[in-house]
Each structure stands twice: as C-alpha cells, then as structure tokens.
Structure 1
C-alpha cells in the first residue's frame, strides 16, 4: 500500500498494490498494522457504513463533534466520486482548506480523513456505492455540517448546477461563516 499525505496534515490517500491476472484482480483493502505505520497511531474502527447514489448526488458536508467525532477511511466499491475533506480543526495551519480526491471502483484508492474534518462527496458516474469505516459510533446529537455550496469554501463538485441533487437538510445547512463563529 502506498500512502500519499495531502496538504491537510493527517489526511492520506491510500493506493493499494493490485495484483492482476487473467482471472481478475486481488488487493488488500485494509491492514491494521500498515495503516498504523502510515498514521503513527492505531485507529480502531467500530462502524462500517455504505451508501448508493445516482449521478449528481452531493452528500455533505458533514461531521460529528465532541466525544463523537469520527475519523473515516473511505472508498468506492462501484462507480466514481469526488471525495472532499475540509479541515476544521481548531488551530490547524490549514483550517478552512479543502482537498478533493477522485475515488473510484477502477482506481481503488481510499482516503483517510482524521477527526476534525467536514466530509462530503459527489457522484460523477451513473451511480456509485460508497463505503466507509468510522472510528466512532454515530450520534445524531453530535451532527454538524456546512452547506456543500458554501461561497467561502468553494468546492468544485464536478456536477453542473442544474444536475445537482442535494438533500433538503444539506441545502439549508449553515454557512461556513456561521460554522466558524460558533
């Protein structure tokens, strides 16, 4: 597994070693010891989540706060997405900055997103199945988020405006300015 640290400290793109032959392919999608070596600590994942979405869907920007904050290891099982992480860790040198990474069933890349990040993705294929491991359980009372079309963060979701499918909850989510001023 090859690890590429992004401009956001602690956020890594993970590229698997894929073994292919006439029968298909094989790769190790998760290895606790290798991930610990890359991260410098041992994440303990307690929950797996999976979603299926069609072209144009934008999910995010979401996070959990406080004692229910979550680190995530995300990947795509089917299709193609633009995966986004926004650093909102207090005191971080890259606070408010984001990265966008193309994750797909074809490239088999994963993204490790530490606690303290907003997270979201857009589906740029006909449909996509998105899978993620979380190091903390979901807690509704700890949910937080920012409108994915926020004018301060400015994320290119690679979906034309007329084709975006955004939940009502995300459409009416707070601005990044409101989020920062809490």
Structure 2
C-alpha cells in the first residue's frame, strides 16, 4: 500500500495495491503497522460504523471534542464520494484549510483523519456506503458540527443542485462561531 501525507498534518491518503485475478481482486485495506510507522503512534480501532446514502447527500463537517477525541480511518466500500477534511485544531499551521479526496469502492483508497480534524463527504452515486474505523467509541454530547456550506470555508463540494442534508448539518454553526464558542481542540504538534 502507498501512504501519502497531505498538507494537513496527520491526514493520510492510503491507496492499496490491488491484486486482480480471474476470481476478482484482493487488497489489504488497512495495515496498522504501516499506518503507525507513518503516524509515529498507535491506531487502535474501538468502533466500526457504516453510513449508506443516496446520491447527492452531504454529511459533515464533523469532529469530536478532546477529550475523548477520535481518529478515523474511512473507506468507501460501495459507490463513490467526494471526501473533504478540514483542520479544526486551533493553532495548527493548517487551521481552516481543507483537503479533498475522491473515495470509491473500485480504488479501495482510504483516509486517516487524526483527532481534531473535521470530516464530511458528498455522495457521487446512489447507495454509497462509507466505513468508519474509529479510535474511540461514540460518546454522546462530544460531537462538534461545522456548517459544511460555511462561505468562509468555501469547500469545493461540486454539487449542481441542493444536496440532501440532515437538520443537524443544516443548522450547524460556522467555523467562526465554533471558534468563538471555545469548543475546538488545540494543536498539539505534528500528527496530532
């Protein structure tokens, strides 16, 4: 597998080596040893979740307060989606910056998203399914939601008609309002 660092510290794009034969194909979706060698710290899965969405569904931008914090390893296991991460760690050299990756079942590409980095996606196909491998279990009341359509973030979603969104996401605060509320995590250095 190929692991590429992005301009956002700790955000990694992981592309597996696909091994095709007459039966189909095989690939390693995640190797903790290889991921941890790049991260310099352990990634221990504590919860695995899935979401299935219709085409043109926009979910996010979401992160989790620290504590408890939550790193994620996300993979599109059916269909395709445009995945966007935003650095929400106050004081980070990439604070407020974003990275875009197309995740699709054909490539097997994944993203590692460290604690404090927000995550969202727009589905490009019907019945798109994303798998989240998370470092902590769900803790009610710790999720931080940022308006994915915040003009100050100017995220390149690329939709041509209004996306399907949950009431929670349509009513989420802007990045500036969230900063003012004092709930975002603080940058702790490279890979944090």
Q: What is the TM-score with the length of structure 1 in the denominator?
A: 0.96
User: Within the alignment, does 1:175 sit opposite 2:177 as a pair?
Assistant: no
The residue that corresponds to 1:102 in the other structure is 102
CA distance in 2, matches of 1:144, 1:10: 19
What do the CA deviations read for 1:17-75 (whole angstroms, capped 9, x no partner)? 11011111000112121111121111111000101001010010111102121100000
CA distance in 1, matches of 2:17, 2:66: 36
Deviation at 1:175, TM superposition (A): 0.9
The residue that corresponds to 1:35 in the other structure is 35
Structure with greater helix percent: 1
CA distance in 2, matches of 1:18, 1:132: 21
CA distance in 2, matches of 1:159, 1:125: 12
* 8 Å contact from structure 2 (residues 87, 116) kept in 1: yes
1:29-178 correspondence runs (5 A): 29-162=29-162, 164-178=163-177
Count of aligned pairs between the two proteins: 181
Deviation at 1:79, TM superposition (A): 0.3
User: Within the alignment, does 1:23 sit opposite 2:38 as a pair?
Assistant: no
Structure 1 gap segments, 5+ residues each: none
Matched position secondary structure for 2:44: coil
- Give the superposed CA RMSD: 1.0
CA distance in 1, matches of 2:62, 2:136: 14
Structure with greater strand percent: 1
CA distance in 1, matches of 2:90, 2:46: 25
Deviation at 1:90, TM superposition (A): 2.1
Give structure 1 regions of 4+ aligned residues with deviation exceeding 6 angstroms.
none
CA distance in 1, matches of 2:6, 2:32: 20
Deviation at 1:127, TM superposition (A): 2.3
Deviation at 1:126, TM superposition (A): 2.1
CA distance in 1, matches of 2:150, 2:112: 23
* 8 Å contact from structure 1 (residues 74, 132) kept in 2: yes
Structure 2 gap segments, 5+ residues each: 182-192
